[in-house]
Chain A
Amino acid sequence: GESVGLHLPTLSVQEGDNSIINCAYSNSASDYFIWYKQESGKGPQFIIDIRSNMDKRQGQRVTVLLNKTVKHLSLQIAATQPGDSAVYFCADPTRKNQGGKLIFGQGTELSVKP
């Protein structure tokens, strides 16, 4: 069945470095993806989204890249800060025919070393 997965369960970076978190998806019909940030003990928060008619989208210090050929997307965080430490999820909300189920990847825990 369809799934959304992540390559690495944990990522440790030095403060000030750039972080790259990867995500693979299997549903070729997926046309919209969302990245969420979840801090310890809190619900996921929307970071940035991207539609399949785009290859790249930029936000404040974050960039999402989408490669539809290999069904891969990534979240890049520039100048990573301690406040960026959290678990990051990619999600595929394009299950419109099945009640719009939101499918999450396993999550990558980002740790920022001072």
Chain B
Amino acid sequence: SQTIHQWPATLVQPVGSPLSLECTVEGTSNPNLYWYRQAAGRGLQLLFYSVGIGQISSEVPQNLSASRPQDRQFILSSKKLLLSDSGFYLCAWIDYNEQFFGPGTRLTVL
């Protein structure tokens, strides 16, 4: 069965520190992968999506970047976190019209 893993589940980081959030998918190959951010439990904002290894599309200009080093691995990064980067980060996999979400990472930047 298809499963999405995200880690860590929660993270508290100081302003200016780097970030690395990881998402891995099981049970499929060549998935379309997505990173969303959600502030205050509302409004899923699409940050990045990837249709294959090394292929990243950015939806909004921001302090974050994404990479897809392997078929089933999607990483969200930042070199220097801002307070505004706080939020709930969700990784999603879309296979045609089936969508699966990971458990999310709660990031708090202090």
Q: Which of A1-46 contact B (CB under 8 A)?
A: 9, 32, 34, 38, 40-46
Kindly state the separation between the CA atoms of A93 and B41 in the bound complex, as whole angstroms: 21
Q: Which of A35-92 contact B (CB under 8 A)?
A: 38, 40-46, 49, 87, 89, 91
Question: Which A residues lie within 8 Å of B51 (CB)?
Answer: 99
Query: Is B44 located at the chain interface by the 8 A CB criterion?
Result: yes
Question: Which A residues lie within 8 Å of B94 (CB)?
Answer: 93, 100, 102
Instruction: Tell me if A's interface is mostly helix, strand, loop or mixed.
Output: strand
- Report the minimal beta-carbon distance from A94 to chain B, rounded to whole angstroms: 8
Query: Is A101 located at the chain interface by the 8 A CB criterion?
Result: yes
Contact A102 B99 (CB under 8 A): yes
- Report the minimal beta-carbon distance from B62 to chain A, rounded to whole angstroms: 17
Question: Which B residues lie within 8 Å of A99 (CB)?
Answer: 32, 49, 51, 57
Write the chain A residue with the least CB distance to B6: A43
Total inter-chain residue pairs, C-beta < 8 Å: 58
Write the chain B residue with the least CB distance to A39: B41
Number of interface residues of B (CB under 8 A): 24
Question: Residue-by-residue, is B40-66 near A (CB-CB < 8 Å gives 1, otherwise 0)?
Answer: 011110100101000001010000000
Contact A106 B43 (CB under 8 A): yes
Question: Which B residues lie within 8 Å of A104 (CB)?
Answer: 36, 43-44, 46
Most chain B CB neighbours (cut-off 10 Å) among A9, A38, A87, A102: A102
Question: Which A residues lie within 8 Å of B92 (CB)?
Answer: 43, 102
Kindly state the separation between the CA atoms of A100 and B41 in the bound complex, as whole angstroms: 24
Contact B99 A41 (CB under 8 A): no
**From A40, A43, A91, A100, contact of B103 by CB (8 A):** A43
Most chain B CB neighbours (cut-off 10 Å) among A9, A38, A109: A38
